[in-house]
Each structure stands twice: as structure tokens, then as C-alpha cells.
Amino acid sequence: MNPWYSTPNTMPAPLTDYNVRIRYWFGKPFLARYDADNEVWISNSNGLTYPVWSISRFQLPEDFPVTSFVLPLSSSGDGSEVSTLQLTFSAATSLKISGTGLFYDDAAGTINPGNVRFADSGSIQTFYIRVPSGSCTINIVNGLDLITQFNEFSTETNSPAIGDLLLSNLPVNLTYFRCIGSNTITGNISNFSINLLLFLCYGSNTITGNISNLPINVTYFECGGYNTITGDISNLPVNLTFFLCGGYNTITGDISNLPVNLTYFRCYGSNTITGDISNLPVNVTYFECTGSNTITGDITNLPVNLYYFYCTGSNTITGDISNLPINLTVFYCAGSNTITGNISNLPVNLTFFLCVGSNTITGDISNLPVNLYYFYCVGSNTITGDISNLPINVTYFECGGSNTINSYTSRFWSTKPVTFILDGLSSLSSTDVDQLLIDFDTDLTWSAGNKITITGNCGARTAASDAAVANMESEGAEISTN
């Protein structure tokens, strides 16, 4: 039997000297000590105080059961490498590994192998673990109560990963969880510790739940994997600054309701986010949202510090590209956009530009940003210039519309444009088309999936480029010309 005592009973004197296990209303139990002078409980994990009357029950140390935290691990690859586990505890405890795993005192996994390790309180404790084959479990005595931070679990290709860990089995006082590797963590976000501030987890995770159930004080949430998270962004925690969720999520809501302090938002899945970009939080630097979004607004109103904007869906963005944020490096906007402007006014650090819609972009390709590697622009564009003036790092080039690119001066191609599509009203001569194909063949090696299309008003290639085309096609390239 493990009796629970109801409060407010007469508090035994020893409660001022050691920890007891208390339950706040219907919440999960946690360790605390009793301050008799002020008639409050003081939480061990965060120092918060709870009046006597607010605590429904408590257990004395001799009564409450050992609350071990069990961490399941599985071998990966050939099992030769070591994973690093870092934890912080509120009191000293011990760890025991069972199964095929062993602890070591060094990252190479050579010093002092053993099944048991001891941990002190306060500072980060580091453990090195190898699981050569099969699986093992680490049993941490009183870990459910004593672990306050899961500081890091990092893996290598051949080192153990976390296997089948449920969110509901995480320590109740956890404020920090960071786990990188081929992990398989499952569960509903409603089972997070109420004290959680940071959650970072990569792997083949399958986390579910509604974002309204994220702990109220979470500031950082990053989860990779096959997650299926739902909810309206108006219910994200008010202090959230970083949100990244991979998987098949279905997030909804208006961007005007994103947390005011948010700096990073990245959400994959079939999301349906709406709103005007003028209502993005002023400090956002990274915004990426996939799905059937319907975002509107003028690019003039994008946050000034934004460096990454990626939004799929039926968006209707307007504005002149000269008004894009000065530090922008990626601009991806799909939908029925009506973007205008001269490419000479694109941000100087831009590396990726994709804009779909009824755009009317003008300018000479010699004025594209020097570090640009991806350019995709369709619409009623009127882009001109000499193909030889494309930035040297371009790996993707597609330009449709009323473009009048009309020449090519032979050059050396140091970087392969794995997709090169020139159509519309572009009018390279047959001689230019031949020379471009010959240079592509001479300077580069092609492979399956690579695509070269030179059509529109361009001249037909001649026998002069037959050998070059035959060679590139033998390497796997798909070539289309007039």
C-alpha cells in the first residue's frame, strides 16, 4: 500500500526536511517540500509555490513507490558506435542498463564498460552507451520525478537509437527534451510535462494531437518524422518563438494569430493557413508552410528581417520584387500571384526564386543575384538577355512567359543545371542552340532525371549538335528542342 494523505491535515514536522510527493488537483504527482512558516509547498523542479489548500494529496517518502524512468534503446547499423546521453537531475540517483547495452566513460566506448552509473544533481550528467546488437533498457531510479532536463541524446549511423518511447512515459518534471537520431517516439502532445519549455526530436517519430494541448510555457517545438498534428495556430502557446513540425499535419488558422514573439515557423503537411502577410509577426525570419494555403498581401509588408519565405497553395501575393526584404535568401510562392518588377532589384543574397502565377517580371538575366542557384518564373514575364550571363551556380532554370532571351555566347559551365527549360518567346538561333548543347556536353556529366528543354521561338538544332545530344542522352539526360 502507498497511502496518500489529504490536505490540509496536520503536516508532520519532517516534511520541512525532506521531499514528499504531491498531487496538484488532478495533475501528475511531483516532488516538493513543505514550508511550514508560510503554509505552502515548494516544487523541487521550478521553485513554484502552492498553497496548502490547493494540493489535494501527498505521500511521505517511505510510502511512495520508486518511480523509475525506463529508456528503451535499439541497436543501429553494425552497432560499433556510441550514443551520448545527457541528463540533468534534481537529486542524486543511479542508472542501470540491462540487455545487450553497456555504459562507458568515453565517447569512443573503450574505458570502464559497465552496467551501472551514478548521477549527481544540478549539473548536466553525461553517459556514453553502446548497443552492439539487439536492444536494451536503461532504468533510472526515481527518474520520473528527478529528471528535469533531457539535455541531449545524439546518435551516429551505427550507434543505438531510442525505440518506441511514449510521450506519456516521459518524466513529469521535464522542462527540456532534445533528441537527435533515428528515434521512434510516439504519443499525443497532451501528454507533455506541464513544465516543458523546449522539445526537439528527430527520427521516425509519430506524434499526434492538437496544438492547443502544447504546454502553455513552451517556447521551442521542433519535431521531425511522420507526425499528424492538428489545430488552429491561434492556439499555439503565447511565448512560442520556434515551431517546426514535419509529417502529415493539418494546421489551420489565420497568420494574424501566430504568437507575437515567433521567429521561426515551418510546418509540413496538408495545412490550410490563411491571412495577409502584413500580419506575420514582426520578428519572423523564417516562414515555410506547405499545403492548400490561401495567403494574400503585398510583399512590401513582409517582415523586414525575413530571410526565408516558402508557401504553397492558392496564394494571391502581389507587389514589386524591389520591395522584398533585403536579407531574403529564399522566395517560393505558388498560386495565382501577380508579382511585378525588374530582376535587377531582387535581394542581393537571394539564392532561390520561384514565383508562379500571372506575374509580369522584367529585366536582363545578367542582373540576377550572383549566388542564385534556382530560378523558376512563369507568367507574362518579359525577361531578356544572354544565357551565358546566368549566375555560375545555377542548378535549376525555368523561364516561361513572354520572355525574349535571344542569344548565347559560349562559356564554361562549372555547375550543371539539372533542369534547364527555356521556352516562351525566347529566340535563340539554331547556331546558339547547337553551341549551348555542345558546351553542356563538353563541360558537364549528365544523369537520369536531368532535363534540357530549348523550345519556344528558338531555332531548331542542327547536325552540329548531334554528337553532343547523343552523348548526353546516353548519360541519362532528357533533351527536347524544336
The DSSP call for residue 114 is: B
Three-point CA angle 334, 340, 343, nearest 5°: 95
Distance CA 20, CA 64 (A): 8
> Are the C-beta atoms of residues 281 and 261 closer than 8 Å to each other?
yes
Rounded distance between C-alpha atoms, residue 317 and residue 299, angstroms: 7
The secondary structure of residue 172, as a DSSP letter, is T
pLDDT tens track of the chain, all 482 residues? 344 555 545 454 444 434 555 665 556 666 666 777 777 777 765 677 877 666 555 555 444 445 789 999 999 999 999 999 999 999 888 898 989 999 999 999 999 999 989 899 999 999 999 999 999 999 898 899 899 999 999 889 999 999 888 888 899 899 999 988 777 888 899 889 899 999 988 888 888 999 999 999 999 999 888 888 999 999 999 999 999 988 888 999 999 999 999 999 998 889 999 999 999 999 999 999 888 999 999 999 999 999 999 988 899 999 999 999 999 999 998 888 899 999 999 999 999 999 888 888 999 999 999 999 999 987 788 899 999 999 999 999 998 778 889 999 999 999 999 999 998 888 999 999 999 999 999 999 999 999 999 998 999 999 999 999 999 999 999 999 99
Give the long-range contacts of residues 51-56, CB within 8 A, separation 24 or more: 52/7, 52/8, 52/11, 53/7, 53/8, 54/24, 54/25, 55/7, 55/22, 55/23, 55/24, 56/6, 56/7, 56/23, 56/24, 56/25, 56/26
CA distance 235 to 72: 33
CA distance 465 to 449: 21
Are 94 and 118 spatial neighbours (Cβ–Cβ below 8 Å)? yes
Whether the model pTM is above 0.75: yes
| Segments in 229-354 forming alpha helices (H) | none
